[in-house]
Amino acid sequence: MSTTGMAADKAAAPNRLGPRPLPLYLTTAMLNWSGSRLASESLRSGLPAWNPALESVQQDLERQLRDSAEAIAGSGASDNSDEKSAWHDFVAAVDRAILERSQDLLDAIRIYRRHPYAREVEPAPVAWSAGTTTLLDYGTRNLDGPPVLVIPSLINRFYVLDLKSDRSLLRYLEARGFRPFVIDWGRPGDDEARFHMTDYVAGRLEECLDAVRAITGQPPLVLGYCMGGLLALALAARRQQDMRALGLLATPWDFAAGAPPVASFLPLIRPMLLMASDQGRTIGTDLLQALFHMLDPMLVIKKFLRFGELEADGAEAEDFVALEDWLNDGVPLSGPVAAEALLGWYGENLPGRQLWRIAGRTVLPGDINLPSKVIIPSRDRIVSPSSAEPLGELLPHAETLHVPLGHVGMMASTNAKKAVWEPLGAWMEEYAQ
């Protein structure tokens, strides 16, 4: 299908509900900040800092309180009344800081929700579809270019790879001469809600591979990002003869290496995950976001406070809103896939122990003889670099590149093109023919 004459995908500014789940973020902020008042009691009572890293901070605050009491007394010594006055002033200052910071957070969220930005990109035509899964052709201006099949995560929407017209890996690859296809998994429908990993890999993913081959007459290079990298590995284990090369971006493998704190909570939600799997229910976006929240409980709060300091109509604020809209536009996971990923990957480390199976066959990186590129963001908070690094050792023909970016930054930051896209594109050109 040609994009000629198609209108740009421009919608009105969305009715934003994020950041999701908002009640969790607000509760976290208030518990954290109100805890500052309680922690202040240790200053007055002389209790040691619970965190050794804060010992010097506590000593500095104690010194300031003594100095304040002495200033109130107007002499070199202070009595109990002076100490009480200094203490009350300090507590009042803490209370004011909590209220001010709370208001700053609410103001920042309000600015985000009312921001006029709306994603405006030229839509890519659908090359193939089945159920709620579609294959989008981002190379219609480069029909003879080497094909590339890009596999995103099942959790987040694909368009972090095409966030804005000037911040798009997919459009960069087309401009470089490739013909990229990307999978839009969509929201699970009635059928997909019962899908296991095998249904996605041996079903939808292999069908997408077949579609790309049929459309272009060539085997594609295959790129996988995050969870999509694991799916790409599983696809390569089954169909490497139909692929030119394999690129893995921020792809975890050894889930025991740098295991996130959230892993310790998995036994608590195991019954719920198994029930959702058995009944073919989906696991919603807010629950998935809550699990990621445990990686760094104050991360969202800190980034919104920083956003509140930006010029609302500036480019940096617009970039923030664009990325935040994508983060809050997640899709549910099928119950079986959620159980396999959370319990099988994070809980049992099946991939890292080389016990992960798709359609009864173990996924073994050592059996994949494709030229491979493993790109690891060193500031990744979601996929620990130590989890991704084993792939560079296990894949027989792998090159590894470490980049000083984060998990999302490697795709959507201002530095992504130079640090990731350009070296990735140069490597792809080596195996494009």
Q: Which domains does the chain have, with CATH numbers?
A: 22-114 (no CATH), 122-284+332-430 (3.40.50.1820)
The amino acid that residue 134 corresponds to is T
- Cα 379–Cα 224–Cα 197 angle in degrees, nearest 5: 110
Q: What is the pLDDT of residue 37?
A: 76
Work out the angle between the directed axes of helices 299-307 and 22-45 (0-180°, nearest 10): 100
Strand-pairing partners, residue 224, are 151, 248
Residue 359's nearest CA partner among 196, 192, 198, 235 is 198
Q: Tens place of pLDDT for every residue, the chain, 433 residues?
A: 333 333 334 444 557 888 999 999 999 999 999 888 777 766 666 666 667 777 787 778 778 777 776 676 665 555 566 567 777 787 888 889 999 999 999 999 999 999 999 999 999 999 999 999 999 999 999 999 999 999 999 999 999 999 999 999 999 999 999 999 999 999 999 999 999 999 999 999 999 999 999 999 999 999 999 999 999 999 999 999 999 999 999 999 999 998 877 778 888 889 999 999 999 899 999 999 998 898 889 999 999 999 999 999 999 999 999 999 999 999 999 999 999 999 999 999 999 999 999 999 999 999 999 999 999 999 999 999 999 999 999 999 999 999 999 999 999 999 999 999 999 999 999 999 7
Backbone angles phi, psi at 168, to 5 degrees: -140, 110
Q: Rounded to whole angstroms, how far apart are CA atoms 295 and 297?
A: 6
Q: Rounded to whole angstroms, how far apart are CA atoms 150 and 74?
A: 71
Q: What is the pLDDT of residue 90?
A: 78
Residue 231's nearest CA partner among 289, 150, 333 is 150
Residue 154's nearest CA partner among 182, 189, 186, 195 is 186
- CA 389, distance to chain mean position in Å, is 18
Strand-pairing partners, residue 398, are 372
